[in-house]
Amino acid sequence: MATVELHKVCKRFGSVEVLHDIDLALDRGEFIVFVGPSGCGKSTLLRLIAGLEDITSGELRIDGQPMNDVLPAKRGIAMVFQSYALYPHMSVYENMSFGLEQAKLSKAEIDRRVRAAATMLQIEELLDRKPKQLSGGQRQRVAIGRAITRDPRVFLFDEPLSNLDAALRVDTRLEIAALSKRLPDTTMIYVTHDQVEAMTLADRIVVLNAGHVEQVGTPMELYERPASLFVAGFIGSPRMNFLTGQLAAAEGAATYGIRPEHIALSETAGDWPGQVTLTEKLGSDTFVHVAADGIGAINVRVEGRCDIAPGTRVFLTPDAAAAHRFDAAGRPIVRAAP
Amino acid sequence: MRFATLRTLGFYALVLVIVVQAVFPFYYAILTSLEDGQALFEVNYFPATLNLANYRAMLTEGVFGRQILNSVFVASVVVVISLALAVSAAFALSRIRFRGRGLLLLTILSVSMFPQIAVLSGLFEVIRAMGLFNSLWSLVFSYMIFTLPFTVWVLTTFMRNLPVEIEEAAIMDGASPVTIIRRVFLPLMWPAMVTTGLLAFIHAWNEFLFALTFLSTDSQRTVPVAIALISGRSEFEIPWGNIMAASVIVTLPLVALVLIFQRKIVSGLTAGAVKG
Ligand SMILES: Nc1ncnc2c1ncn2[C@@H]1O[C@H](COP(=O)(O)OP(=O)(O)OP(=O)(O)O)[C@@H](O)[C@H]1O
Ligand SMILES: [Mg+2]
């Protein structure tokens, strides 16, 4: 059953339309991630759902009720902002209780909820501190705690991890995953442009491009069956290799796509001869950049360590079953069943 | 080594010059106020006598006490009304998108560019028409012409620098605009409000031209005019002792206010450093 539904939602700023006819239905308890390049409208879409921006046309429903004209606080939504947006002059406790006070809950109930959220996020010792006395990770937790106390139906996150350092980002990502397991009835909508966050957290990913929904699906669906050239290029790291020209034409496509991990590299024999130009060693993997003769630059992922020197002649063999073919409009060409 | 000593010496010499230049006039006023008739005209730089007669005379004879109260009333009311109006205006000007916002801001600022004398006669008519002549409200009204532009402008700039997300978080929390101003913005804006409020207070406290023009009786006057109009027994005598005593008396509240709010002012001057 859907909690959040959008029908033909458009958003215009002045004369610029930044979201075009968005249709989405999100199930209760789902973890949904919006991804897309910078400026594609992810934050705007989130803010429309939150009620911080007006919907220009179209309809938004939450639990079946039209929400277009409902005040943000009455939508059963909580939001975690990128910059945390804690109230600097209030203690952690007051930050978390402010919204409940506005909702005119009893003192006892407020206290119960704040302490429950604090326990869940392990920030009980911080309740008396001011935000400026907290580390970035602790602030992030308080921001999440403030959202939890409101007991929302829908949880919105706008790039909540982008201000954290890499190690903390991984920890917090795991905590958010755990949180969504603990709140099985709460729908989570999470905006990011980090691939890894999207792939690991999402039940379903919504890929946005220039104000359109490009594709909606589980992370594996997007990875294995991208519905467009754009999605194919956007999902997966490092990027899928796109080859055009003769090679693609021979396959009956305008663009031939093959992921770096679906190419075998050999120093003795293979389909595409070429020369190594650069290797990037990550420890667990090595990315080998190859200039393939008559084809172009191809990135190959080799598991583990690979001490191949630039300039070496190598041979590449694509895994034909994992290749993607796209027509001139960027749509996938479905392989006829054999 | 020698060079370093010289540099330190030079530095302190410079500091001394600045301090003397800033403090000496006030020091001399205090000195003068403590002397009586004869000693006044002997130039000296240290108190020869400690005579509080001038103070006693100012505070007990005539209506000077009443005049101080007038000043306190006018300046306080101006500050309170200016800040209340300026906070609401700043909220609108910094946070609500509407047509002509930039133009409005510029207009507000340009009001303060007119010299007082340019608006004096027109304002006089307005005040007569409103029946405020010789009433302290005429000053409250006219001072706001000058305090509002800069309070609005400063608070608008300050509010603009507060992160929008904090306000949005409050909206998500269900706070009404009034609650947002009261519970979220006001506490964050204290430093800016204290600073602008103090400037408005000082301006209203020291204003001379309007106070001279719009008030006609002694008991209604505010202190700057009152001091200027202190006269001696004859045309040729200027009672410097009394004038200086009065000046010192009316400066003390300002010094006290600045000392009380010192820390807030400092943080107000570094405003914008408000960060979640
Ligand atoms: N208040 C506004 N007025 C006018 N245009 C806006 C406004 N807010 C956003 N836009 C425009 O809408 C488009 C989408 O912006 P949005 O912030 O949703 O992008 P985003 O996908 O969140 O990007 P990022 O990943 O950089 O955060 C952008 O082109 C932006 O310039
Ligand atoms: Mg964004």
pLDDT per residue as tens digits for the range A264-280: 999 999 999 999 999 99
Taking the Cβ of residue A75 and every Cβ of chain B, the question of whether any pair is shorter than 8 Å is answered with: no
**How many residues are there in chain B?**
276
Specify the CATH superfamily of domain A238-326: Nucleic acid-binding proteins (2.40.50.140)
CB B150 within 8 A of CB B112: yes
Q: Which residues in chain B touch residue A139, judged by CB atoms under 8 angstroms apart?
A: 276
- pLDDT the model gives residue B268: 54
**Cβ of A15 less than 6 Å from ligand 1:** no
pLDDT confidence tier of residue A54, bands split at 50, 70 and 90: very high
- What residue has token string 């990315």? A287
Alpha-carbon separation of residue A102 from A9, A70, A117, A259, B161 (angstroms)? 30, 16, 18, 52, 25
State which residue of chain B sits closest to A151, comparing Cα positions. B173
Domain-wise residue ranges, chain A: 4-228, 238-326
Give the residue among A107, A319, A336, A104 at the shortest CA–CA distance from A224: A319
Question: Which residue minimizes the CA distance to atom 30 of ligand 1?
Answer: A39
Model confidence at B274: pLDDT above 50? no
Are B22 and B14 a contacting pair, CB within 8 Å?
no
Query: What's the average model confidence in pLDDT over B198-222?
Result: 90
**A20: Cβ below 6 Å to ligand 1?**
no
CA distance A291 to A311: 10
Quickly state the pLDDT bin for A310 (edges 50, 70, 90).
very high
Task: Look up the CATH superfamily of A4-228.
Answer: P-loop containing nucleotide triphosphate hydrolases (3.40.50.300)
Q: Which range has the worst mean pLDDT, A21-25, A52-56, A191-195, B57-61? A: B57-61
Q: Report the distance separating Cα B143 and Cα B104, nearest Å.
A: 20
What span, in angstroms and rounded, lies between the C-alpha atoms of A135 and B163? 19
pLDDT over 80 at B62, yes or no: no
Query: How much distance in Å is there from the Cα of A37 to the middle of ligand 2?
Result: 10
Which residue has the least CA distance to atom 16 on ligand 1? A41
Q: Which of the two residues, B162 and A146, has the higher pLDDT score?
A: A146
**Tokens found for residue B2:** 């020698």
Q: Across the interface, which of B163, B172, B276 has its CB nearest the CB of A50?
A: B172
pLDDT of B25 > 90? The answer is no
Under DSSP, is residue B161 helix (H, G, I), strand (E, B) or coil? Answer: helix
CB within 8 A of A252, min separation 6: which ones? Answer: A325, A333
A73 with B188: Cβ contact below 8 A = no
Expressed in angstroms and rounded, the spacing between residue A64 Cα and the centre of ligand 1 is 28
Question: Which position has the token pair 């405003």?
Answer: B271
Residue A338 has pLDDT above 60, yes or no: no
CA–CA gap between residue B53 and residue B51 (Å, rounded)? 6
In chain B, which among 164-183 make CB contacts under 8 A with chain A?
Answer: 165-166, 168-175, 179, 183
Is this prediction's pTM over 0.90?
no
**Ligand 1 pocket residue status of A39, Cβ below 6 Å:** yes
Confidence grade of residue B38 (pLDDT, cut at 50, 70, 90): low
Q: How many CB atoms lie within 10 A of CB A190?
A: 26
At B119 the pLDDT is 87
Of B155, B169, B181, nearest to B271 by C-alpha is B155
Task: Flag if A88 and B183 touch (Cβ within 8 Å).
Answer: no
- Which range, of A63-77, A161-175, B123-137, B232-246, averages the lowest pLDDT? B232-246
Instruction: Read off the pLDDT of each residue in B65-79 and give the average, rounded to a whole number.
Output: 93
- At residue A240, does pLDDT exceed 90? yes
* Position A168 pLDDT exceeds 70: yes
Please compute the mean of the pLDDT values over residues B185-190 and round it to a whole number: 86
Residue whose structure tokens are 């008559």: A294
**Which residue from B minimizes the CA distance to A134?**
B276
Q: Are A269 and A338 in contact (CB under 8 A)?
A: no
Sheet holding A2-13, edge to edge: A16-27, A2-13, A57-62, A65-66
Please tell me which of the candidates A73, A88, A146 has its beta carbon nearest to residue B276. Answer: A88
Q: Which of A72, A86, A87 sits opposite B172 (nearest CB)?
A: A72
User: Taking residues B115-123, what's their average pLDDT?
Assistant: 88
| pLDDT tens digits, B132-146 | 899 999 999 999 988
Distance in Å, CA A39 to ligand 1 centroid = 5
Query: Is A83 in contact with B188 (Cβ distance < 8 A)?
Result: no
| Residue A38 near ligand 1, beta carbon < 6 Å | yes
- Work out the pLDDT band at A250, boundaries 50, 70, 90: confident
- Of residues A73, A88, A98, nearest to B274 (C-beta): A88
Cβ-contact A332, A226 below 8 angstroms: yes
Mean pLDDT of all residues in B201-212? 91
Asked whether the predicted pLDDT for residue B270 surpasses 70, the reply is: no
What percent of chain B lies above the pLDDT cut of 70? 91
Measured CA angle at B195 (ends B192, B197), to 5 deg: 100
In the structure, what pLDDT confidence band is assigned to residue B243 with cuts at 50, 70 and 90? confident
Residue B275 has pLDDT above 50, yes or no: no
**Ligand 2 center to residue A209 CA distance, Å?**
13
Atom 29 of ligand 1, residue of closest alpha carbon: A39
> A238-326: same fold as A4-228?
no
Please indicate whether residue A87, judged by its CB atom, sits closer than 6 Å to ligand 1. no
Nearest protein Cα to ligand 1, atom 1: A13
Going by pLDDT thresholds of 50, 70 and 90, the confidence category of residue B273 is: very low
**For a pLDDT cut of 90, what percent of chain A falls above it?**
71
Q: Mean pLDDT across chain B, nearest whole number?
A: 85
pLDDT of residue B109: 83
> Is ligand 1 within 6 A of the CB of residue A13?
yes
Which of A33, A42, A52 has most ligand 1 atoms within 8 Å of its beta carbon, as the pocket-test mutant? A42
Q: What percentage of chain B carries pLDDT values higher than 90?
A: 32
Output the residue whose Cα is nearest ligand 1's atom 9: A44
Domains detected in chain B: 1-51 (no CATH), 62-272 (1.10.3720.10)
Q: Is the pLDDT of residue B269 over 70?
A: no
Closest residue to A73, CB basis, from B173, B184, B187: B173
pLDDT score at B188: 85
- Chain A residues closer than 8 Å to B187 by CB: 89
**How far is the C-alpha of B203 from the C-alpha of B219, rounded, in Å?**
21
The average pLDDT across A12-27 equals: 93
